[in-house]
Amino acid sequence: MDLATLKPVIDWLAANPTWGGLAVFLISVSESLAVVGLFIPGVAMMFGIGTLVAMGALDLWSTLAWAAAGAIVGDGISYWLGYHYKDRLRGMWPFSRYPALMTRGESFFTRHGGKSVLFGRFVGPVRPVIPVIAGMLGMPPAQFLMVNVASAVAWAPAYTLPGVVFGASLNLASEVASRLAVLLLTVLVTLWLTLWLTYRIYRLLYPRASAIMDRLLAWGGEHRYAGRLVSSVLDPEHPEWRGLAVLAGLLIMLAVGLIGGGRLLFEPALLSFDTTVLNFMQSLRAPWPDQLMVFLADLSLRPVSLPVAAAVMIWLAWRQHWLALLHAGGASLFAVILSFALAWGMASPSAGGIVSNTVLYGLLAVMIAQGLKDKWRWLPYGAAGLLVAAFIFARLYLGMTEASGALAAWLLALLWVTLLGAAFRRHSATPMASGQLSLVTGAALLLSASTYVSTHFQQDLARHTPRYAVQTLDATAWWDGGWQTLPPYRLDLEDHAKQPLSVQWAGPLDPLAAQLEGAGWQAPPALNSAAVLHWLLPSPALGELPLLPQVHDDRHDVLRLVHGDGKGGWSVLRLWPADRLLQNPRGEVWVGTVTSLRAAHPLPLFTVPLTGSQYNAPLQQLQASLGELNWRAVRRADTRDDAWDGTVLLLRARAPAGEP
């Protein structure tokens, strides 16, 4: 998986801008047509168009013009239908199938008047029928045209530019490492899917929750022993602690039984699943994400979550929410017992952190949602879902837990939260002060996380940083052919030849840097907030702009030098550790790339130097700058292509004694 997969599409669109513009126009027309727009994922499609703009497949300004024109035409057709057919349209297909939508659109137009054409373009459900309603209710054509054009001009960038920004971020991430772009996509899709599922499940269950629980109570009344459990949990007239205690015990026995039986019956499949997920996550490792994931993993540890739980329980006691306090205590006790059960059953103590966080933030979401209005009650569940999903993703990324164990722990904890939350909602008649509880939770999490991260982050980062085995190699053997044991291409995604490693240097980096700087090579500006502002210069020289680091084998380059040819062309040399230590004489080996640089414009008025696709000419430029260094040009016979002829430069500060 790589952004290069889209290159044929991007190249074709760039070579055929008229067809690309026509596609944007037709999408905008369809998204704006009455009723038809309900079935067109306009937001997603315009977001994708913006992403293609950032990748250079489409021109920004012409794309915005095509999009606005399509929106004007689509709304214009809809307005004409309403203006021409009036109330007869209500009985015509497909409008006759959506009477409720037509009524909502008419109510919206009546409330906002002519401004509804402007407002309605950004309001999802009623958007495709507002122009029809405007025509049906006799809005003057001149007035409609004026508002229609203004709203379309505002709509086009509002729906396209987020995709442009996202595409630009993918472009820049891909420059650092293709794995970084894939990781960014994976994280965003995971978090979006978590939020979407939370919202859809809430919308599905919340209106039906009371009816479902009433039916369960009725069913329990027909079953002697099961009825006692159901009544204990769901009937406000019965104390819930006995039923919850029995259900907690059953759940823990179920967990032990399922885990033991699953390991016995499906161990090869589970091992394969865990290995696949681990290998995928490890293939996405890069230095910057490593720091973020270690930070998130730290937030999921007990030294952070326990103070949050303690602060919440103290607040509940202070506010005399005794029932909520008992539920919080029961949740914590169950989480501890289930964590021990999972650690015993799966030999994976790290799964306990997933249980603790799911139970803690899940129950807090139930309590906070109780005091909110119906339309906002899904937000605490969404926030809790995002937080727990981020914690689980970080643990999987760092290899702290197996995927099957994380899934089992999360499902069991979620089941317990569902039972506990249902009992709490049925027995608690007093709504929580949601704002205060949210503030206490956020402040406790911020304070606890700050304290722990400030004292343990570097230690945890070092513990989770990949270890590299250094191989010893005789210097003469390396010079005579051992260089071929080093990888020919920069290691990015698995089985992906990103850039040729056409340089190998033996020795300290300082002599090489000094020689090249004397020959006109220069270090680019450091990548910091001040230097990044140079990307906004109107016509900058590429050598004056900070370069993004690149990743090889999960490490950033340690030496970066650029060189201009005096005609506007620039080359860049990057070096990484090769994990080879030479003997006789002793020296470390470094591998590197020499590539061209190109100016990219991922956003308007934004110039970023990105790696070009030329390798032979920059390598010759480097070769002409070596001066008194000891070097030789060798060639990999099986790696030649149009951009690289397989040449590798072997460099060292001085030859071993007895050699020229």
Q: Which residue has the higher pLDDT, 15 or 472?
A: 472
Summarised one tens digit per residue, pLDDT across range 535-550 is 777 777 787 888 888 8
Q: Which residue has the higher pLDDT, 423 or 407?
A: 407
**Helix axes 17-32 and 42-54, enclosed angle (nearest 10):** 160
Q: Which residue has the higher pLDDT, 625 or 176?
A: 625
Summarised one tens digit per residue, pLDDT across range 275-324 is 888 888 888 888 889 999 999 999 999 899 999 999 999 999 998 888 88
* Per-residue pLDDT at 226: 66
Q: For strand 630-635 and strand 471-474, is the pairing parallel, antiparallel, or unpaired?
A: unpaired
Q: What is the mean pLDDT of residues 203-231?
A: 73
Q: Are 52 and 62 in contact (CB under 8 A)?
A: no
* Per-residue pLDDT at 126: 66
Of the pLDDT bands very low, low, confident and very high (cuts 50, 70, 90), residue 454 is very high
* Per-residue pLDDT at 272: 86
CA 281/CA 406 separation, integer angstroms: 14
Summarised one tens digit per residue, pLDDT across range 87-141 is 776 667 766 666 666 777 777 777 766 666 777 677 666 677 778 777 787 788 8
Q: Which residue has the higher pLDDT, 6 or 369?
A: 369
Strand partners, 650: 504, 632
Of the pLDDT bands very low, low, confident and very high (cuts 50, 70, 90), residue 344 is low
Does position 347 have pLDDT exceeding 60, yes or no?
A: no
Q: Which residue has the higher pLDDT, 442 or 496?
A: 442
CA 608/CA 264 separation, integer angstroms: 55
CA 371/CA 361 separation, integer angstroms: 16
- What are the backbone dihedrals phi and psi of residue 558, each rounded to the nearest 5 degrees, phi first? -105, -15
Determine what percent of the chain is predicted with pLDDT higher than 90.
24
CA 625/CA 631 separation, integer angstroms: 11
Does position 3 have pLDDT exceeding 60, yes or no?
A: no
Summarised one tens digit per residue, pLDDT across range 78-97 is 888 877 777 776 667 766 66
Q: What is the mean pLDDT of residues 416-423?
A: 83
* Per-residue pLDDT at 377: 87
Does position 223 have pLDDT exceeding 80, yes or no?
A: no
Question: Is the C-alpha dihedral spanning 553, 554, 560, 563 positive or negative?
Answer: positive
What is the Cα Rg of the chain in Å?
Answer: 31
Q: Are 391 and 296 in contact (CB under 8 A)?
A: yes
Model pTM? Answer: 0.78
CA 227/CA 284 separation, integer angstroms: 50
Summarised one tens digit per residue, pLDDT across range 389-418 is 999 999 999 988 888 888 888 888 888 888
**Would you say how long the chain is, in residues?**
660
Q: Are 593 and 501 in contact (CB under 8 A)?
A: yes
**Least confident range of 44-53, 60-69, 610-619:** 44-53
Q: What is the mean pLDDT of residues 474-501?
A: 83
Nearest to 493 by CA among 576, 406, 573, 552: 552
Nearest to 78 by CA among 36, 38, 24: 36
Q: Are 630 and 649 in contact (CB under 8 A)?
A: no
Summarised one tens digit per residue, pLDDT across range 544-569 is 888 888 888 888 999 999 998 877 78
Does position 5 have pLDDT exceeding 60, yes or no?
A: no
Angle at the Cα of 34 from the Cα atoms of 59 and 101, rounded to 5 degrees: 130
CA distances from 4 to 12, 175, 275, 280, 556 (A): 13, 11, 27, 19, 21
* Per-residue pLDDT at 660: 44
CA 445/CA 440 separation, integer angstroms: 8
* Per-residue pLDDT at 640: 63
List the domain boundaries for the chain.
3-176, 178-207+237-464, 471-652
Nearest to 31 by CA among 13, 47, 19: 47
b/e map of 401-418 (b: 16 or more CB within 10 Å)? bbbbbbbbbbebbbebbe
Q: What is the mean pLDDT of residues 337-350?
A: 67
CA 604/CA 548 separation, integer angstroms: 19
Q: Which residues contact 211 (CB under 8 A, 6 or more apart)?
A: none
* Per-residue pLDDT at 279: 85
Q: Which two tokens stand for residue 50?
A: 């913006």
* Per-residue pLDDT at 381: 93
Instruction: Identify the burial level of 36 via C-beta atoms within 10 angstroms of its C-beta, where 0-12 means exposed, 13-18 middle and 19 or more buried.
Output: middle
Q: Which residues contact 33 (CB under 8 A, 6 or more apart)?
A: 74, 77, 78, 128
CA 493/CA 553 separation, integer angstroms: 9
CA distances from 70 to 14, 53, 277, 567 (A): 20, 17, 43, 43
CA distances from 185 to 5, 189, 191, 194, 431 (A): 14, 6, 10, 14, 39
* Per-residue pLDDT at 35: 61
CA 550/CA 535 separation, integer angstroms: 18
DSSP at 489:
B
* Per-residue pLDDT at 382: 93
* Per-residue pLDDT at 542: 80
Q: Is 632 left (phi over 0), alpha (psi -120 to 50) or beta?
A: beta
CA 526/CA 560 separation, integer angstroms: 10
CA distances from 359 to 118, 339, 343 (A): 45, 11, 17
Determine what percent of the chain is predicted with pLDDT higher than 70.
84
Q: What is the mean pLDDT of residues 570-585?
A: 91
Tell me the pLDDT of the chain averaged across its residues. Answer: 81
